[in-house]
Amino acid sequence: MNTMNYAFLCSAPPPPNGLKAAVVGSGPAGLSAAGWLACAGYEVHVYDKLPKAGGLLVFGIPGFRIPARRIEDAAEKLAEEYGIRFHFCTKICTQDKVCESGDEFVQEMTSLSDLLHECAAVLICTGSWRPRRLNIPGEDLVGVYTSLEFLFPLRACKMTQSSTQAPLVAPPKVEGQRVAVIGAGLSAVDVVQSCLRLGAEEITLLYRKTVDEAPAGRMEIKLLRQRGVRWVEQTTPLRIVGENRAQRLVFTQGEEPREQELDVDLVVAAIGEVPTNPFPRELRLEDISKDGKGWLQMTKFDGVFVAGDVLTGPSKIGRAILSGLKAAESLDGWIKAHPLDSGGTRGDEEDKASQKEAGDV
């Protein structure tokens, strides 16, 4: 199996340029940006809250779709051949930390202001780790998951299992269970395929539109139906009912207002994720075109850039990689236009004011 190469712009590391750059997040955008910066001579430090590189490529997408070993080999290549330093189990965030999938592995926390003092620039590539909710009654019952809450433990327990240490996350019990999956994108398909592999007794896939409008594609749905998955389209989930845990999913179908019930043991809402901005109060990424001061993908803080799904929302892997490359190039251009003084800090008063504004971010 060929190793993925995120430092494809150079065949060997160039002479160091004497500057440090930080990349927050090691998904496809973060790894591609790290490779670009390494080829430009930077000392690159990559921070990730998880114990291994790859982000959702490794911890959210099942191995039968993308082999995790390819991502692991690519990160090792960056570290061993290009000197990129990975800081795993480290979260960069504000003091009012928001809990998300993957936080179980966090051992260190660092602020953005600390990174700005240590590095010439910072690139945030934290992806989309916050799931969309159904916002219906019963969503908090035991046995109800989002796709990420369901898939992440399945991947994490395999990626971090040890014979000497109890797992930090526990996968859901699927064998012999009746599972309802809501959604028709690739995440929903991944959940269903995982349930099939884990021996679910019965799987029902429900979608708000028709099979022709399924984001995963008609063929994916057809293949699942051939494996015994029940497909129910044009549905609107109303509530999840149960004593302490999920027992029934109540929904309507089509234009028919009559309520229908489905007996369930597990319900998985696979309706997508939203960008995980680690500094939502300080960095309004929706205003980035106005905040960047002419520099592509730069925030209102000088020297702080963003790339990948944290900026665009969930997207294709190739788009995230391209975003990381563009942000790294923009970061490099900004640094060259704002050189460091002899003391190793920026002499520009506007840059100093920007760092002061970051404060305890």
- Looking at residue 290, its pLDDT comes to 55
Query: What pLDDT score was predicted for residue 122?
Result: 97
Q: Rounded distance, CA 308 to CA 126, Å?
A: 8
Mean pLDDT for back-to-back runs of 10 residues, the chain (361 residues): 83 95 97 98 96 91 84 94 96 66 83 92 93 94 95 81 59 96 96 97 98 96 98 98 96 92 98 88 73 81 94 90 97 91 47 50 54
Of the candidates 287, 335, 307, 279, which has an alpha carbon nearest to the alpha carbon of residue 34? 307
- Chain center to CA of 54: 9
The candidate with the shortest Cα–Cα distance to 183, out of 205, 199, 202, 153, is: 205
Q: Which pLDDT value is given to residue 24?
A: 97
For residue 43, what pLDDT is reported? 98
Task: Identify the bridge partners of residue 123 per DSSP, sorted by sequence position.
Answer: 23, 305
The answer to whether residues 47 and 24 touch, using CB atoms and an 8 Å cutoff, is: yes
CA distance 62 to 155: 7
What pTM does this model have? 0.88
CA-to-CA dists, residue 324 to 5, 104, 238, angstroms: 14, 26, 40
Supply the pLDDT for residue 31.
97
pLDDT for position 141: 97
Contact 274/126 with Cβ under 8 angstroms? no
Q: Between the CA atoms of 289, 276, 272 and 288, what dihedral angle is there, to the nearest 10 degrees?
A: 0
Pairing outcome for strands 130-131 and 273-274: antiparallel
Q: Is residue 62 exposed (0-12), middle (13-18) or buried (19+ Cβ within 10 Å)?
A: middle
